[in-house]
Structure 1
Amino acid sequence: MCRVETDRDRIDEILFRRHTGSQGGVGQANWDGRMKTTFVNLTGKGGGLNVADEIEERLREAKMLPGRKKIPRTNLNRLLSAEAFRNRVGISCNKGKFQFIRKEDASLAALARIAKDLADKKITLDDVWDVERKSAYLDQLEGEGVLPTAADAIEPSKKSKKTQAKPLPKPKAKKPERRTHLIPQEDYGVAWAGRLQRQRAIWEELQFALELEHHPNAIAVLCRVLLEQSVDNYLVRAKLTTAFEHDALAKKIISSAENLHQKAKIDKRYLEVIRKARTIDAIISVDTLNKYVHSSRLAPSPDHLTAIWDTFAELIVLCLNE
Structure 2
Amino acid sequence: MNRLLSAEALRNRLGISVRKGKLEFIREEQATLRALERVANDLATRKVTLEDIWDTEAKLAYVDNLEREGVLPTVASNPKSIPPSSSTPTYPTSQKPGLPKAVAWPHLIPNVNYAITWAAHLQRHREIWEELQFKLNFSEHPNAISVLLRVLLELSVDNYIKEAPLSTVNESDNLARKAAKVADDMYVKKMIDKKYLGAINKLRQGENLISMDTLNRYVHSSNFNVSPEHLKMLWGTLSSFVVLCLTT
Give the length in aligned residue pairs: 154
Matched, 1:294 2:220: yes
Residue number in structure 2 paired with 1:320? 246
Distance 1:210 1:171, change over 3 A: same
Shift of the alpha carbon at 1:247?
Answer: 2.0
1:211 to 137, 143, 149: 137
**How far does residue 171 in structure 1 lie from its aligned partner after superposition?**
2.4
Q: CA deviation at 1:244?
A: 3.8
8 Å CA contact retained: 1:235, 1:245: no
Between the aligned partners of 1:172 and 1:222, the Cα distance in structure 2 is 41
Aligned with 2:154 (options 218, 224, 228): 228
Alignment of structure 1 residues 1-322 onto 2, 5 Å: 171=73, 178-244=104-170, 246-322=172-248
Specify the code of the residue in structure 1 equivalent to 2:219. V
The 2-side partners of 1:239 and 1:170 are apart by: 45
8 Å CA contact 1:245–1:252 kept in 2: the answer is no
3-state SS of 1:199 partner: helix
The code of the aligned residue for 1:178 comes to A
Gaps of 5+ in 1: 1-167
Higher relative contact order by CA 8 Å / sep ≥ 6: 1 or 2?
2
Deviations 1:77-111 (A, max 9, x none): xxxxxxxxxxxxxxxxxxxxxxxxxxxxxxxxxxx
Moved over 4 A (4+): none
* Distance change in 2, residues 1:172/1:299 (3 Å): farther
Distance 2:191 2:71 in 1: 39
2:85 aligns with none
2:160 alignment partner, SS class: helix
**In the aligned structure 2, how far is the partner of 1:292 from the partner of 1:308?**
12
Extract unaligned runs of 5+ from structure 2: 1-69, 76-100
Deviations 1:104-125 (A, max 9, x none): xxxxxxxxxxxxxxxxxxxxxx
Whichever residue aligns with residue 171 of structure 1, its letter is P
TM-score scaled by length of structure 1: 0.45
Q: Does structure 2 retain, via aligned residues, the 8 Å contact 1:285–1:308? A: no
Q: Taking every aligned residue pair, what percent have the same amino acid on both sides?
A: 50
